[in-house]
Amino acid sequence: MNIDEKDAQIARELKPCRHMARLVDSLADESLHGVARWYVELHIKSCRQCYSTFVSIRKACEQLQVLRNKEVPVNLSAESQSSLASLLDDVEKRRQK
Amino acid sequence: MPELKQSATEASAEFLRRRLLYEEIVSANQGALLRCAMHLCSRVHSAAEEYVQDTLVRGYEAFLDGKFKEGTNARAWLIKILTNRFLHDRRRDKFHHSEPIEKLQSSIPMHAALCTSQQDSPEWLALAHTFSEPIELALDSLPDDLRLAVLLADVEDLTYKEVAGICQIPVGTVRSRLFRARRELAKWLTVHSHLYDQFAAPLETEYEHR
């Protein structure tokens, strides 16, 4: 199966029921509460497509959280820091004139 | 004359006080700003640094104009300046039919190899797996509006209301963009699940499917 065929197949699988689409998304990002949450949980237990969508979105959300914790440089490079300081000085000088 | 000298000294002292306050805000939020810029610029470090520097200068001007309200979220305020600048540049580039980030990317040997090798070819897989998280490659595949929504809400952990304020769209539109973005990411990750074993493994959920 080439990548386009796989893409088409996955698009078919990740097609939740129309009225559930946003609710499934909210369940996956943990922002759904109360009766709505109970209703969606009940629905995905019996609907294969909504369940697949839920699992895939939950996985994507987990990957995004990995990205949140991924280490990036905390500060600008020394060169950028010093050029920033002089740019801020310029702003002050313009204002003081 | 002494009065003039005194008012000049007071003005400098006021600038110094504001500068120190601003520098405190900067040091607390520089990391988040850099991370956001790195994702917006598809991990081209030089471009991200340039955007952050530009944001901090513009931010300082706005700060001196009293546009930052103390007690509000400084990170969201700085990210708004950053994203406005980024989107402005992207629109300008589209108008001029050029793609500077992609061009910058291709000037880096690793990115160039990634861009030129055919997706799914063995060398593309090896490069992609070595240099980027799969989710980063998936994010690159999203259009700007969807990428921005998902970056702000899911990576920067801003509230939907803050994302709506930054993108200048209603909260309902944020929700809808997030749904579309996450679905696209999920699709991309499933299609390319062979990039990493972790994603290919079944996810244990609390919902047993009947």
What would the pLDDT profile of B107-164 be if each residue is shown by its tens digit?
444 455 555 555 555 555 555 555 567 788 888 889 989 999 999 999 888 999 999 9
Specify the range with the lowest mean pLDDT, choosing from A5-9, A22-26, B11-15, B44-48.
A5-9
Cα–Cα distance for residue pair B126/B50, rounded to 1 Å = 30
pTM metric for this prediction:
0.75
Sign of CA dihedral B170, B171, B177, B180: negative
Whether the complex's predicted ipTM surpasses the cut of 0.85: no
- Nearest alpha carbon to residue B86 among B74, B100, B76: B100
Which residues of chain A does B134 touch, with a Cβ-Cβ cutoff of 8 Å?
Answer: 63
DSSP B99-164: -HHHHHHHTSHHHHHHHHSPTTSHHHHHHHHHHS-HHHHHHHTS-HHHHHHHIIIIIS---HHHHH
pLDDT computed for residue B74 by the predictor: 92
**CB atoms B207 and A96 under 8 Å:** no
Distance from C-alpha of B177 to C-alpha of B41, rounded to nearest angstrom: 20
Provide φ and ψ at B98, rounded to 5°.
-130, 160
CA distance A84 to B33: 15
User: Would the CB atoms of B210 and A61 count as touching at under 8 Å?
Assistant: no
B44-100, pLDDT tens digit by residue? Answer: 888 889 999 999 999 999 999 988 888 888 999 999 999 999 988 888 876 655 555
Long-range pairs of B107-115 with CB within 8 A, sequence gap ≥ 24? B108/B44, B111/B44
pLDDT for position B104: 47
Q: Which residues in chain A are closer than 8 Å to B31, comparing Cβ atoms?
A: 72-75
Average pLDDT, integer, range B12-20:
84
Residues 45-74 of chain A with CB under 8 A from chain B are 45-46, 48, 51, 53-68, 70, 72-74
Q: For chain A, give percent helix, strand, coil, nearest 5.
A: 80, 0, 20
pLDDT of residue B53: 93
Give me the mean pLDDT over the B192-203 stretch: 57
Contacts of A64 in chain B (CB under 8 A): 135, 150, 154-155, 185
C-alpha gyration radius of chain B: 21
Residues of B in contact with A80 (CB under 8 A): 49, 52-53
Q: Is the pLDDT of residue B43 over 70?
A: yes
Which residues numbered 42-81 in B keep a CB inside 8 Å of some CB on A?
45, 49, 52-53, 56-57, 60-61, 64
Closest CA to B36 of B129, B166, B130: B166
Residues A31-82 have pLDDT tens digits of 899 999 999 999 999 998 899 889 888 988 888 888 887 766 677 888 888 8
Give the separation between CA A87 and CA B11, rounded to whole angstroms: 19
| Rounded Cα gap, residues B171 and B159, in angstroms | 10
Nearest neighbour of B34 by CB, restricted to A64, A73, A83: A73
